[in-house]
Structure 1
Amino acid sequence: MGSRLGISAPALLAALILLCDRVQAFDPLDPEGNITLKWDIISWTSDGYQALVSIINYQRYRHIESPGWTLGWTWQGGEVIWGMVGAQATYQGDCSKFHGTIPHCCLQSPTIVDLLPEAPASMKSANCCRNGVLSSLLQDPENSVASFQLTVGQSSNASDTTSPPKSFLLGAPGPGYECSPPRRVNGSLFFTPDHRRATQALMTWNVTCRYSQAVAQRAPSCCVSYSAFYNATIVPCPTCACQCSYNATQPIQNAQPMCMQMSSAYMNSPGYSTGRTRDPPELYCSTDMCPVKIHWHVKTNYYDYWRAKLTIINRSLRKNHTQWNVVVQHPNLDNLTSAFSFNYMSLPRGRTNDTAMFWGIRFYNDELLTAGPVGNVQSELLFQKDPSFTLDKGWAFPRRVYFNGEECVLPPPHSYPFLPSAAIHRQTLAWKALVLPVLLNMIGRNILSLF
């Protein structure tokens, strides 16, 4: 049965699903964040063209870790890749119809990866060879761009008939990015090192890729716990925040262990160190089963300032996090005075300035190591109080927390460490002790002025 607007129920359902997907892809803390792919034709050849492909990360804090990005597309016709510099196709495909010079890749839908840093100089180009690692725009802008060159054959070599590939796929690593169709734009400009001369690409197309955790179908990878100086209770991460401690696709009694108890001697066994046993569990066991835990502790309350301690704990037994970052949304971050052992940068959004990014100091704590005694980093944060400051009703705890661009699971609002009633009473008494003498003094002066 159709709606009053004349839209059928299936069409309406499809529109709602599409709308939900778009909402999931929207990041309120980085609404303009995306990765832009540029396809620049820089010269024509006898049977095609040479192109420069650039991957530009315009996301403020989300970056691509090792094992790095992969880029795929589908050719419009029967194009081949004769050669590449700065990257390589993962598979050559069937090139049996060629004689003499064999193409680098004959696949209709190739997959491209970055080269390793130790690649020969003859295979390198600018902005390549970082094993696919791509930094975020604000944390390390110099390494937020990757590029490579390729020679395309069996293609048109005229501007009025040449088209770029279609159906671009960006993996970083694995799915998660949705890419738009290529859009023709003005030709890119390329400047000489002295910036005194510029050349222009013959043709340029842009592709915009946006990240969505829903598209990635990824379980949360981090969670947040709370504590405060005024309460002995630690509020833990929610139970099963990231996953549960067994593989639900198998019977529990036959399931592969997904975690290891902290007291287990498994890591110290000879088989673990030499690789003779089965693959080790991925992380230490916990009620939340999150690879990364972030703890926010309200440490001290001064007259004009207050202090919090931010700790990031890596529970993974397999993965280090190089160039990690944490994004926190909190109403007092506009008045953050110091982060004592982290770098930090404010992330304003229009008139709102309640978000900041924290990351490690280079060569000191910019790598978050695997689980163990050194698998954590921490810093204390000093805030100047704003007029809305209070320790009541969880105001001192963050509203959102991201680790490496993935949103972390927060405890439910009703579970904040509560203020004891005695503490509230002491706050009231302290207010009276400070304000009452001033008021009495003012009243006294007014009374005396009447005489």
Structure 2
Amino acid sequence: AVDPLDQRGSIVVTWDILNWYQGDGYVASVKIENQQLYRHIEARPGWSFGWEWSKEEVIWEVQGAQAIDQGDCARVEEENSPHSCHPRPVMIDLQPEAPGTLQTANCCRGGVLSSAVQDPSTSIASFVMKVGLARRPPDVPLSFSIPGYSCSTPTNVTSSLIPDGQHGRRAYMTWQSSCTYKLRRTSSCCVSFSSFYNPDVVPCKDCACDCSQKPKAGERLTDDGFQTPGIATALNLHKQAPFQCSKDMCPIKIHWHVKNNYKGYWRSKVSILNRHLQNYTHWNLVVQHPNFKQLKEVFSFNSTRLPIHGGTFADDTNMFWGIRSYNDMLLEAGENGVVQSEMLFQKDPSLFSLSKGWAFPHKVLFNGEECVLPAPDSYPGLPNAARQSLLHSPFLLLLLLLV
């Protein structure tokens, strides 16, 4: 399904054949470019990219990545064993401390692949490999795959221009595939609401993130109330880390508080609570609200309006993320597992209202996952007494319009 907030968003994989060697092999450069506005891949689990060889190709050497399984290399009659002989290799990123001889451009970030808006400088990953037992012309690799994405069949496109000193040269051949995000059936985050004018807090919906994950009878919890994963979960890089159990069973909770109402402005506060036993290294938050066109200041978060299809900007959609070396990492569950910011809005008299939930967001996404909002009829409302006397009591009106 096309994401209405990012209609052209995808991860584009480009496979370039740079040169030939030893008659039956070639050097390939693989570039993984995240062109999504806000979806990205965190250090955990980190990006991984797989494919299926058309014949019996092997990977002799690789820079900028590593195969997770060497496979069976008994069929290769060479003194030195290939890096991977697996018919369906899967590559993952190297860590920043990898030896320089194994590094290449746009590698070695521990699997981080940032979004195009949040950090363009780390939105591309690449690796270079020597492929052996290949034919000329080479066979197209099949079934490109990135976990959580659906990739198109690799197709031959115009050869890439490869930088080469002061001039460029064309790759011998270039294949390309576009991978689009597959929406999850269950959410991983929820939203709660509160306000200065109503003492009631609207909690996340019960079972907002799938109560089937709740511990079963006899299943052990840690002392802190975390569900302990099984062996299969612990060994799978793409399974969730354990998280605190709650009525909503959401690893991430977003809280939106309408904090102040001034004469010409109003203020809200947003908090992101991490219940996971893992850090979020490049978290982001996307929010839709009808007053973002009049957003004047954001405290302690980076913020930008998101472009929509056609290159224009959506007046009601903003993206937020942390400030580098301050709160760009959302720490694991515990005392420090929360980040917060306040937002100051200028009032538009034709729009502003404290009734019918207008001051609360219409849509919230954390790290590209849409969060479950409270039911519309549960939003904090003006107290009954205020509803009756607001138009007749200058004192109550003054309370709501504090300067």
1:130 paired with 2:134, answer no
Q: Please report how far the alpha carbon of residue 48 of structure 1 lies from its aligned counterpart in structure 2 after TM superposition.
A: 2.5
Residue 392 of structure 1 aligns to a residue whose secondary structure is coil
How many equivalent pairs are there? 376
- Alignment counterpart, residue 213 of structure 1, candidates 177, 183, 187: 183
- Alignment counterpart, residue 31 of structure 1, candidates 7, 21, 46: 7
1:409 paired with 2:376, answer no
Q: 2:36 is aligned with what amino acid?
A: Q
Cα deviation per residue 1:335-372 (whole Å; 9 max; x = unaligned)?
11111111101113246321011111111111111222
Tell me what 2:57 maps to. Answer: 79
- Alignment counterpart, residue 69 of structure 1, candidates 47, 50, 55: 47
Cα deviation per residue 1:401-426 (whole Å; 9 max; x = unaligned)?
11111111110111100112333345
Tell me what 1:274 maps to. Answer: none
Residue 323 of structure 1 aligns to a residue whose secondary structure is coil
Residue 422 of structure 1 aligns to a residue whose secondary structure is helix
Q: Please give the residue correspondences for 1:343-362 in structure 2 after superposition, counting only pairs within 5 Å.
A: 343-349=302-308, 350=312, 352-362=314-324
Q: Please report how far the alpha carbon of residue 245 of structure 1 lies from its aligned counterpart in structure 2 after TM superposition.
A: 7.8
Residue 122 of structure 1 aligns to a residue whose secondary structure is helix
- Report the Cα distance in structure 1 between the residues aligned to 2:69 and 2:333, rounded to whole angstroms: 35
Cα deviation per residue 1:10-32 (whole Å; 9 max; x = unaligned)?
xxxxxxxxxxxxx3xx2221111
Q: 1:96 is aligned with what amino acid?
A: A
Out of 347-356 and 289-298, give the one that drifted further: 347-356
TM-score by length of 2: 0.88
Cα deviation per residue 1:93-135 (whole Å; 9 max; x = unaligned)?
1111222232221111111111111111111111111121111
Tell me what 2:191 maps to. Answer: 224
Q: Please give the residue correspondences for 1:19-418 in structure 2 after superposition, counting only pairs within 5 Å.
A: 23=1, 26-45=2-21, 46-66=23-43, 67-97=45-75, 98-158=77-137, 162-171=138-147, 176-191=148-163, 196-214=166-184, 219-244=186-211, 247=214, 252-257=216-221, 260-261=224-225, 282-316=242-276, 318-349=277-308, 350=312, 352-386=314-348, 387-418=350-381
Q: Is the 8 A contact 2:187 2:208 kept in 1?
A: yes
Out of 407-416 and 238-247, give the one that drifted further: 238-247
Residue 100 of structure 1 aligns to a residue whose secondary structure is coil
Q: Is the 8 A contact 2:214 2:245 kept in 1?
A: no
Q: Is the 8 A contact 1:79 1:154 kept in 2?
A: yes
Q: 1:329 is aligned with what amino acid?
A: Q
- Report the Cα distance in structure 1 between the residues aligned to 2:223 and 2:195, rounded to whole angstroms: 29
- Report the Cα distance in structure 2 between the residues aligned to 1:337 and 1:76, rounded to whole angstroms: 56
Q: Is the 8 A contact 1:260 1:285 kept in 2?
A: no
Q: Is the 8 A contact 1:80 1:152 kept in 2?
A: yes
Out of 342-351 and 290-299, give the one that drifted further: 342-351
Tell me what 2:236 maps to. Answer: none
Structure 2: which 5+ residue stretches go unaligned?
A: 229-240, 398-403
TM-score by length of 1: 0.79
Give the direction of change, closer, same or farther, for the CA distance of 1:71–1:230 in structure 2 (3 Å limit): same
Residue 356 of structure 2 aligns to a residue whose secondary structure is helix
Q: Is the 8 A contact 1:245 1:289 kept in 2?
A: no
Flag the structure with more relative contact order, 1 or 2, with Cα contacts below 8 A and sequence separation at least 6: 2
Q: 1:361 is aligned with what amino acid?
A: I
Residue 287 of structure 1 aligns to a residue whose secondary structure is coil
Q: What is the root-mean-square deviation of aligned Cα atoms in Å? A: 2.3
Structure with the larger helix share: 1
Q: Please report how far the alpha carbon of residue 284 of structure 1 lies from its aligned counterpart in structure 2 after TM superposition.
A: 2.8
Q: 1:340 is aligned with what amino acid?
A: F
Q: Is the 8 A contact 1:258 1:283 kept in 2?
A: no
Give the direction of change, closer, same or farther, for the CA distance of 1:241–1:96 in structure 2 (3 Å limit): same
Runs of 4+ in 1 over 6 A off after TM superposition: none
Q: Identity percentage over the alignment?
A: 52
Q: 2:79 is aligned with what amino acid?
A: G
- Report the Cα distance in structure 2 between the residues aligned to 1:429 and 1:352, rounded to whole angstroms: 38
Q: 1:181 is aligned with what amino acid?
A: T
Out of 239-248 and 96-105, give the one that drifted further: 239-248
Q: Please report how far the alpha carbon of residue 184 of structure 1 lies from its aligned counterpart in structure 2 after TM superposition.
A: 1.5
Q: 2:257 is aligned with what amino acid?
A: H
- Report the Cα distance in structure 1 between the residues aligned to 2:66 and 2:161, rounded to whole angstroms: 25
